[in-house]
Amino acid sequence: MPKVTYVSDAGEARVVDGLVGDSVMQTAVRNGVPGITGECGGVLSCATCHVFVDEADLDRLEPVSGLEDEMLDGTVVDRCPNSRLSCQIKLSDELGDLRVTTPEAQE
């Protein structure tokens, strides 16, 4: 079972057991992790699921799609090189555990 560590803007970490096939956004929202809203349910419509991915995990992820890239330009907290929309990161056994930091605000 992949684990996701969510680190808040203030530096508090919370570890959640994820389900293979769920996204990092879904895992957060279902378990009430603050800092990720995910209003559109993961269909790349809201950009309220912005996270900063731990540098060590970044290269293992699927690349950013054109649509996600465009949306990252419009997030409330400005994007960084390790920014992703967490609804686009699907958990899998191959990918293993992940660590992300949530921005100060999503909306």
Partner 1 sequence: MNSTAVAPRDTGVLVVGACQAGIQLACSLREYGYSAPITVVGAERHAPYQRPPLSKTLLHAETSPDAIALRSEAFYADQGIRLVLGERIIRVDRGDGGAGVAYAHSGRSFAFDRLALTVGARPRRLPVPGADLAGVHYLRDADDALALRAALAEAVDVLVIGGGFIGLEVAATARELGCEVTVTLADNRLLERAVGVPTSEFFLDAHIRRGVRVHLGAPPVRLLDDGHGRVRGAELPDGSVLTADLVVVGIGAVPRTELAEQLGLTVDNGIVVNEYGLTSDGTTVAAGDCVACPPPVDLPDGPVRIRFESVNTAVEQAKTAAALLADRPVPYGAVPWFWSDQYDLKLQVAGLSTGHDRYVVRGEPDTEKFAVLYYRGGHLVAGDFVNRPADFLAVRSALAAGRTIPPEAATDTTVPLKKLIADDPRQAVA
Give the binding site for ligand FES (CB under 6 A).
25, 38-40, 42, 44-49, 85, 87
Residue pair 77/103 in contact by the 8 Å Cβ criterion: yes
47: contact with partner 1 by CB under 8 A: yes
Q: Is residue 46 within the footprint of partner 1 (CB under 8 A)? A: yes
β-bridge pairing 98-101 and 3-7: parallel
With CB under 5 to 8 Å by kind, the binding choice for 67 among partner 1, ligand FES, none is partner 1
Binding residues for partner 1, rule CB under 8 A, total 21
Helix (H) or strand (E) holding 70: helix 66-72
SS3 state of residue 51: strand
67 touches partner 1 (CB under 8 A): yes
